[in-house]
A and B are shown apart, each in its own frame.
Chain A
């Protein structure tokens, strides 16, 4: 009755040493917190300072365990899709205040459907148009929120 789920490989795992990068980021974040907390001085700075030290400590533990812990997933060609999607969303945010949400919404949906999702042209156009109209009706028409809109 059901189709077998397609067995698809998850991204391969990176070298265990990649855990060191994650650990280093945790330590750096802790360091930033400590530095920021120092400039705030005691009082407002005490708590962030404490959290910063905890982060540094945890980061060091993570680094020590880097070889034993399961490594992060490797970035694959699929990761480029994520980069494209994020770029698209940043562009969306950048223009929405000036030109309203309709055109960016239409474009974002279309690009995502056609190029990221590899839907057919017909589906992509139909769904992106349909979604934009529904969002307009919902947010501008029904909910009357103050989202910047062109029309």
Chain B
């Protein structure tokens, strides 16, 4: 317990407070740039934190993380450009409120909701993470092998662009991770005789290139779609009635967010949609949703922040990043000498609690900063992308150099930037690649150690209780979608678009016609994306292995309505991103462990397109 309090003492030192504050501000600054979600923002800003003490750097990262999250909310409400997939549903009511001149209230309630959701989630994390870590201390190489595989598989399942593409991207990431000296034999692999490659590819240029530069190049090609910023935002404080209306939504959003956030994959995305769907379903006036219901902003914003926070649990307690943003944080922590994993809390409690407490602080500062400074951020939105793009590129290039003082690293950023751009053109999500790259060496090392342990007998994985269970889960993740596909093909007529699925909260009505909240850019992609719903994974109860032992409720890409005509008239008219799972003919039910009850959330391909494009 004293470690917790000591941690607070460290965090509250004035310098650390200052860095956290700076982190929140620059996180928001970069986060409001179109297309740059939290993963890209953190990657771009990583070099800024290098010169700092580990604890200070981690605190600043927490600030950047929360600031970047909120930056996406600002653009969702004001420009209806979600900075990331988890803010997509915020667009519906947030932008409607903005059109009624109540953008301030929407942003204010989002900040308050984010704060409450985030803080509750941290409290829960404080309690849960050490328990999970204690449990995971018994994990050996076999468990880690299966855990890493499972993590990659689940992220690929929920990622955009189709599962096979995501898996291919992940496999390429694994391959990149093998470049350099082999840990076991010191043989040089794929280095092409290049000395700069002997120590392997560095994580930072890859993340900067794939997430940051690739996105900027992609936007450049679109000639920086001219989007004008709103004139001004007034009345930032939500009215008392708003608060009263939102309080339930914030409470439920916190719980949904926390539970779903633990799952590997798109926790924040799923949870924001589930929370929105739940509020709409509970509401006595569901027709208000999409027309400026304040709960429609409060619920998803609370949930996505709660989920973003609870996705730290698998990272801090198991050392397995649950999504692309966590992969970037993982890399950042490694550079600071913090190795996330079960040993962290026992061997370096000061670092562990430093990280956790800096999250408390980041959240508080976010609330304090966001409301008074909204005007400033809104003004930043008025700076044209054509001006911001070159500046961001230069920060990225120079920043990449400063990490290792290596010009070669700048070259890597450019190479991966081009790769990221091409992947985006071809519909491959870079997220799984980065995640697989980060997990690659852990996976290979654990696998080889396990095989040594088992005398090269792969059935050994099945004989250990924990790894055996994990293998079963892993197989289920692979097989369930296949079975579903087969079953669906058999019952093709039943699965037509619009087939009702009673279990799932329905987001569809709002998307039935050409709709205000179309997510613009998705016009062309939304097509099959709309129908390609994916159901999430469900945790195996609230037990300690929740993060790891997630058992999929089913993870099938649902290609129900592949309608060319739809595509041509821009299926983004169908709310672009979110469709009721019912419409896809497939109930994407996410069973939270208890409290969340059943909430279905389905993510269309376009969702993450929004994330990548905007």
Contacts and interface: CB of A to CB of B under 8 A. Distances in A.
Contact of B414 (A2, A46, A93, A143): A93
A89 interface: yes
A29 interface: yes
B390 A86 contact: no
Contacts of B376: none
A143 B390 CA distance: 21
A6 B81 CA distance: 12
A26 B521 CA distance: 27
Contact of A105 (B174, B231, B398, B426): B398
Contact of B189 (A3, A18, A22, A40): A40
A146 to B, nearest CB: 5
B389 interface: yes
A59 B168 contact: yes
Contacts of B397: 89, 92-93
Given A10-B523, A119-B387, A36 B394 contact: no
A43 B178 CA distance: 13
B525 to A, nearest CB: 7
A133 interface: no
Interface in A4-20: 5-13, 18-19
Given A44-B184, A113-B390, A26 B168 contact: yes
Interface residues of B, number: 79
Contact of A54 (B81, B171, B218, B426): B171
Contact of B390 (A2, A43, A90, A109): A109
Given A2-B99, A10-B524, A61-B164, A135 B78 contact: no
Interface in A89-113: 89-90, 92-93, 96-97, 101, 105, 108-109, 112-113
Contacts of A73: 425-426, 524
Given A1-B230, A44-B187, A93-B414, A146 B164 contact: no
A137 interface: no
A7 B520 contact: yes
Contacts of B387: 113, 117, 119, 123, 127
A75 B598 CA distance: 43
A8 B223 CA distance: 10
Contacts, number: 210
B425 A116 contact: no
Contact residues of A: prevailing secondary structure: helix
B168 A51 contact: no
A108 B528 CA distance: 39
Contacts of A116: 220, 386, 390
Interface string A75-91: 11011011001100110
A29 B234 CA distance: 54
B495 to A, nearest CB: 16
Contacts of B172: 26, 29, 55
28 contacts: A2-B78, A2-B98, A3-B227, A5-B225, A8-B521, A9-B523, A29-B175, A43-B185, A51-B171, A54-B167, A70-B528, A72-B426, A85-B217, A86-B217, A89-B397, A92-B397, A108-B393, A109-B391, A113-B387, A116-B386, A116-B390, A117-B386, A119-B384, A119-B386, A123-B387, A127-B390, A131-B391, A135-B398
Interface of A: 1-3, 5-13, 18-19, 22, 26, 29-30, 33, 36, 40, 43-48, 51-52, 54-55, 58-59, 61-62, 65, 68-70, 72-73, 75-76, 78-79, 81-82, 85-86, 89-90, 92-93, 96-97, 101, 105, 108-109, 112-113, 116-119, 123, 127-128, 131, 135, 139, 143, 145-147
Interface of B: 51, 78-81, 95, 98-99, 101, 103, 162, 164-165, 167-168, 171-172, 174-175, 178, 182, 184-185, 187, 189-190, 217-218, 220-231, 384, 386-387, 389-391, 393-395, 397-398, 401-402, 405, 407, 410-411, 414, 417-418, 421, 425-428, 444, 447-448, 520-521, 523-525, 527-529, 559, 562, 605
Given A2-B98, A7-B520, A92-B410, 8 more contacts: A2-B78, A9-B524, A13-B524, A26-B172, A44-B182, A44-B185, A78-B223, A109-B391
